[in-house]
């Protein structure tokens, strides 16, 4: 197994295709949530994933802030259906937080998480900074980790 960190321009067309396929399969098809999954932010993101024999097991993207007042964010966190329950999500979030802390030197990290995962994210120190709200019919909560 291998962790990959790549800027958008360093992704191969196959890697990009597989990332977008996983994101669409999970966030649009599996969660029955039609929304514009390709949001225009990917070119500015760092893409982080765990792969085994060329198969993506877990993925997220590191989203840079749009303004000085915003934080870096971890987004599109996913684990492939057949790879769930093996601790990959925990490793993935740990790797993302570690990258932002050590490589970017950030003092806080934002994430926009599904409400049913708030305790999972809370186990890393993320704290809720919004009430639960619906986005595309799915309960979400905004969370922030102070480092």
CATH assignment at residue 91:
3.40.630.30
Distance in angstroms (rounded) separating the CA atoms of residues 131 and 70: 19
Q: What is the pLDDT of residue 20?
A: 95
Half-sphere exposure of 68 (CA within 13 A, CB side): 0
Number of structural domains the chain divides into: 1
- pLDDT at residue 68 tops 90: no
Residues of the domain holding 110: 2-146
**Cα-Cα-Cα-Cα dihedral of 25, 30, 34, 39, to 10°?**
-40
The angle at the Cα of 138, spanning 64 to 77, to the nearest 5 degrees, equals 40
What would the mean pLDDT of 53-63 be, rounded to a whole number?
Answer: 96
Q: How confident is the model at residue 33 (pLDDT cuts 50, 70, 90)?
A: confident
Kindly report, residue by residue over 98-113, the tens digit of the pLDDT: 999 999 999 999 999 9
| pLDDT of 34 | 82
What average pLDDT does the segment 68-85 reach?
A: 95
| Residues 38, 63, 68: CA angle, nearest 5 degrees | 125
Instruction: Answer left, alpha or beta for residue 2, where phi above 0 means left and psi between -120 and 50 means alpha.
Output: beta
pLDDT in tens, 112-139: 999 999 999 999 999 999 999 998 889 9
Q: What phi, psi does 135 have (nearest 5°)?
A: -130, 120
How much is the average pLDDT of 50-78? 95
User: At residue 147, does pLDDT exceed 90?
Assistant: yes
CA dist 91 → 7, 36, 52, 137 (Å): 20, 27, 14, 28
The three-point CA angle 8-12-16 to 5° equals: 65
pLDDT for residue 104 = 94
């Amino acid at each position: 197994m291998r962790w990959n960190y790549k800027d958008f321009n360093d992704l191969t067309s196959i890697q990009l295709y597989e990332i977008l396929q996983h994101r669409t399969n999970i966030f649009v098809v599996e969660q029955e949530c039609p929304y514009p999954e390709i949001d225009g932010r990917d070119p500015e993101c760092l893409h982080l994933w765990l792969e085994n024999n060329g198969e993506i097991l877990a993925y997220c993207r590191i989203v840079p802030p749009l303004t000085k007042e915003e934080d870096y964010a971890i987004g599109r966190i996913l684990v492939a259906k057949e790879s769930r329950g093996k601790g990959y999500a925990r490793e993935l979030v740990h790797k993302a937080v570690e990258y932002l802390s050590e490589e970017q030197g950030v003092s806080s990290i934002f994430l926009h998480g599904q409400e049913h995962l708030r305790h999972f994210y809370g186990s890393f120190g993320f704290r809720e900074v919004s009430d639960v709200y619906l986005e595309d019919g799915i309960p979400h909560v905004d969370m922030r980790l102070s480092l």
